[in-house]
Each structure stands twice: as structure tokens, then as C-alpha cells.
């Protein structure tokens, strides 16, 4: 069963109140000492954890980095992104027979998709861990976002696309931003296998959804929806409905809601329900549940986590390179619990990689 409890106690390996936790076995890791995408012990997915989850008063500014108190850094490699509109849709509202319906227009992000929210954080993490070559497998939007943010960060970008299966406009976006584009004979999974192999050999920093930091940026979709809806309608929405591919956004919004409830920013009865929708022609999760797959249960309210498996230190997997640019310092009072304004270089770290 996935371990999704949010512990309030920062482990020894945390960097200013930020660490990584395996959602399968609970092992904890330093966030920026090594390049790490999955758990060293069980290969489970990792999740970014915070000692001090955010409240509404912590947020200031506009766009994704308005929510820096909910992110690992004060600022990212930004174009900028976020602050997308929450449109009124009166005809659709009437057609569906619901009282108040809004539509979040994520196409207003710089490269035209929500992927920009994850990349502004992910590319910033690449700087923190000392990697300057980025890569992803993609069928479109991810490659455009990675290429744009890699270019803004002054980093080399490699994009692997399935040959003949990507919209020309998306290939053009990646190309215009200077990405190296490799067309692969095969499907998306073939591309992902290759790019994961490159990442495992330390050749590139992987920025597909496996990277836990991308979901941190995508959490801000939920934060914006809640603030915009509350400010305009006087209450939080009852339900957020979102399309599901690999459920990265669903996981991101669920994490957003868990953190807001953990901080007391949302009361339990204010937490919106999440509804995922898959197209009939590509619905593996719906079909899995139809065939008996067991949905994950929500975490218990207790913040106490059980005993941990023995930890070990992960070998470094990426080469150090250019030092990152100096980010601005946080103005709000919650800055002390986030990653240092001077990002950690692996060569100067004395903190243990695991807890
Ligand atoms: Zn694990």
C-alpha cells in the first residue's frame, strides 16, 4: 500500500525542511545530494516532502512562483508560467445542470500546456544537483516545455520522439528552442526506455513524469484553482475534474490537497473531490479497475510513520557541471524551511544521502 502520510518531522537528510520519501517503503533521501528518480531500495516512486506545509498567507506574487512556500525553492527557471485564467462557461454550466462551473485554461502557459509548471521546478532542480544536460521522451507537449525551459536555463536539451507520431507544431517548438531531437523507431515506451538508460548512466537529467519534482510545479494548478474559485465565488469548489493520462496531474493535485489539509489551510470538509476522466480509446486505468485492480486507500490522519527499512547511500549518477545562477531570496517569513538560496553542489555536501 502506498505510504502517503505527510510527516511533520524533517529527517536528518532534509535540506531546509525538504526531503524525498519513497511512497512504497517509506525510505527517505536527501533532496539534492544525488540525482535520484526512484527509491534505491525498492524502486518505488519518490515524493517531495516538506516539514512545514504551506498556508494561504505564505503565498505572494503571481504565477507558479507565487506558491514558492509550497515548492522546494524560492524561484525557478521561469518564462514565466501559471496564472492561467479560470473561465466562466455559462452554456456548458446550463447544459450539465451544475450550479457553478469553471474551466482552467492551461493552454495559456508559455509553451501551450501545463507541462511548463513542472519544468520551471524540474529545470531548477537540475541546476541544484549540478547537471546541465536535460532529456525527456515525449509525444509532444513535454518536449516543447523541456526545450523552452532548458533554453532559458542555458542548458543542453535532448528530446526523444517516436518517429512519425508527434504533431509537427510540437517538433517545431522543440527545434526552435534549440533542442537536439532524436526520432526513434518505436512508440513512446521505446523512447522512455532509451532516455531512462541514458539517465541511469549519468548522461542526462531525466525530466519525464518519473521525476518527482515536476509534480511539485503541477501542484500549483490546484492552488490556483482553489484561490481563484474562492476569491470569485466565495467558497472552494466541491469537485475538480481533470483528464488522466498517466495520472501525474491527478497525483499532483491530490498532493496539493493533502498538504493544504495538513497545514490547516483547508478543513477536511473543504477538500474538493478529484475526478479523473480517460478517453474511451485510451483508458488503461479505468480498464484496470474494471478488471479488479484495487484503488489505493487514502492515508490515515495520523502523521506518525512506522519504522524504516535499513538505508544505504546511493551512488551519484550524473556528472557535475556548471554552477547554477544565484536565485533571489525569499521575502516571506517561511523561507528558512526551503532549499538554500545558494543551491547545493554535490561536491560540497556533507549531509547523508539517506536517513
Ligand atoms: Zn522504497
Q: What is the pLDDT of residues 192-208, one digit of tens each?
A: 999 999 999 999 999 99
Instruction: Give residue 7's pLDDT.
Output: 66
Q: Where in 143-289 does DSSP place strands (E)?
A: 156-162, 180-184, 205-206, 239-243, 273-277
Same fold, 1-131+204-349 and 132-203: yes
Q: How do the domains of the chain map onto residue ranges? A: 1-131+204-349, 132-203
In the predicted structure, residue 101 carries a pLDDT above the cut 80? yes
Report how far ligand 1's centroid is from the alpha carbon of 39 (Å). Answer: 5
Q: Which pLDDT band, with edges at 50, 70 and 90, does 300 fall under?
A: low
In the predicted structure, residue 166 carries a pLDDT above the cut 90? no
In the predicted structure, residue 160 carries a pLDDT above the cut 90? yes
Report how far ligand 1's centroid is from the alpha carbon of 43 (Å). Answer: 6
Maximal C-alpha separation, the chain: 60
Report how far ligand 1's centroid is from the alpha carbon of 14 (Å). Answer: 17
Q: Are the beta carbons of 49 and 91 closer than 8 angstroms?
A: no
Report how far ligand 1's centroid is from the alpha carbon of 352 (Å). Answer: 17
| Cα R_g (the chain), whole angstroms | 20
Bridge-based pairing of strands 205-206 and 133-137 is: parallel
Q: Per-residue pLDDT averaged across 162-169, rounded?
A: 86
Report how far ligand 1's centroid is from the alpha carbon of 237 (Å). Answer: 34
In the predicted structure, residue 331 carries a pLDDT above the cut 60? no
Report how far ligand 1's centroid is from the alpha carbon of 167 (Å). Answer: 37
Q: Is residue 77 helix, strand or coil? A: coil
Of the chain, the percentage scoring pLDDT greater than 70 comes to 82
Report how far ligand 1's centroid is from the alpha carbon of 56 (Å). Answer: 32
The pTM score is: 0.83
Report how far ligand 1's centroid is from the alpha carbon of 345 (Å). Answer: 25
Q: Per-residue pLDDT averaged across 148-174, rounded?
A: 92
Report how far ligand 1's centroid is from the alpha carbon of 2 (Å). Answer: 10
Class of the CATH-defined domain 132-203: alpha beta
Report how far ligand 1's centroid is from the alpha carbon of 127 (Å). Answer: 25
Report how far ligand 1's centroid is from the alpha carbon of 209 (Å). Answer: 17
Report the C-alpha gap between 36 and 21 in whole angstroms: 11
In the predicted structure, residue 329 carries a pLDDT above the cut 60? no
In the predicted structure, residue 56 carries a pLDDT above the cut 80? yes
In the predicted structure, residue 332 carries a pLDDT above the cut 90? no
Report how far ligand 1's centroid is from the alpha carbon of 101 (Å). Answer: 40
Instruction: Give residue 349's pLDDT.
Output: 37
Report the C-alpha gap between 144 and 159 in whole angstroms: 9
In the predicted structure, residue 85 carries a pLDDT above the cut 80? yes
Instruction: Give residue 298's pLDDT.
Output: 61
Q: Where in the chain does DSSP place strands (E)?
A: 18-22, 28-29, 46-50, 86-88, 102-104, 133-137, 156-162, 180-184, 205-206, 239-243, 273-277
Report how far ligand 1's centroid is from the alpha carbon of 162 (Å). Answer: 31
What is the tens place of the pLDDT at every residue in 245-266? 889 999 999 999 999 999 999 9
Q: Which residues pair with 275 in a beta bridge?
A: 241
Any idea which architecture 1-131+204-349 has in CATH? 3-Layer(aba) Sandwich (3.40)
Amino acid at each position: 500500500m502506498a505510504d502517503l502520510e505527510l510527516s511533520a518531522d524533517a529527517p536528518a537528510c532534509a535540506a531546509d525542511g525538504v526531503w524525498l520519501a519513497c511512497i512504497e517503503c517509506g525510505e527517505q533521501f536527501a533532496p539534492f545530494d544525488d540525482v535520484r528518480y526512484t527509491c534505491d531500495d525498492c524502486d518505488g516512486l519518490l515524493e517531495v516532502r516538506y516539514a512545514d506545509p504551506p498556508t494561504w498567507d505564505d503565498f505572494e506574487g503571481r504565477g507558479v512562483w507565487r506558491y514558492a512556500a509550497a515548492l522546494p525553492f524560492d524561484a525557478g527557471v521561469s518564462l514565466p508560467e501559471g496564472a492561467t485564467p479560470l473561465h466562466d462557461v455559462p452554456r456548458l454550466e446550463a447544459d450539465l445542470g451544475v450550479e457553478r462551473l469553471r474551466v482552467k485554461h492551461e493552454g495559456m502557459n508559455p509553451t501551450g500546456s501545463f507541462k511548463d509548471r513542472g519544468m520551471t521546478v524540474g529545470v531548477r532542480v537540475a541546476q541544484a544537483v549540478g547537471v546541465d544536460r536535460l532529456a525527456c521522451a515525449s509525444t509532444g507537449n513535454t518536449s516543447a516545455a523541456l526545450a523552452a525551459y532548458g533554453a532559458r536555463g542555458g542548458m543542453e536539451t535532448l528530446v526523444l520522439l517516436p518517429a512519425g507520431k508527434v504533431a509537427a507544431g510540437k517538433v517545431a517548438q522543440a527545434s526552435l528552442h534549440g533542442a537536439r531531437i532524436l526520432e526513434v523507431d518505436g512508440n513512446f515506451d521505446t523512447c522512455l526506455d532509451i532516455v531512462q538508460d541514458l539517465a541511469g548512466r549519468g548522461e542526462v537529467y531525466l525530466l519525464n513524469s518519473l521525476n518527482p519534482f515536476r509534480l511539485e510545479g503541477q501542484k500549483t494548478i490546484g492552488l490556483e484553482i482553489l484561490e481563484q474559485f474562492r476569491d470569485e465565488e466565495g467558497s472552494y469548489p466541491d469537485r475538480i475534474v481533470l483528464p488522466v493520462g498517466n495520472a501525474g496531474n491527478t497525483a499532483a493535485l491530490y498532493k496539493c490537497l493533502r498538504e493544504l489539509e495538513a497545514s490547516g489551510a483547508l478543513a477536511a470538509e473543504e477538500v474538493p473531490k478529484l475526478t479523473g476522466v480517460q478517453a474511451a480509446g485510451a483508458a488503461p486505468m479505468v480498464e484496470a479497475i474494471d478488471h479488479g485492480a484495487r484503488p489505493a486507500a487514502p492515508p490515515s490522519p495520523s502523521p506518525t510513520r512506522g519504522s524504516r527499512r535499513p538505508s544505504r547511500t546511493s551512488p551519484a549518477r550524473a556528472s557535475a557541471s556548471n554552477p547554477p545562477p544565484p536565485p533571489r531570496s525569499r521575502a516571506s517569513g517561511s523561507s528558512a524551511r526551503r532549499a538554500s538560496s545558494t543551491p547545493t553542489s554535490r561536491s560540497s555536501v556533507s549531509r547523508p544521502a539517506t536517513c
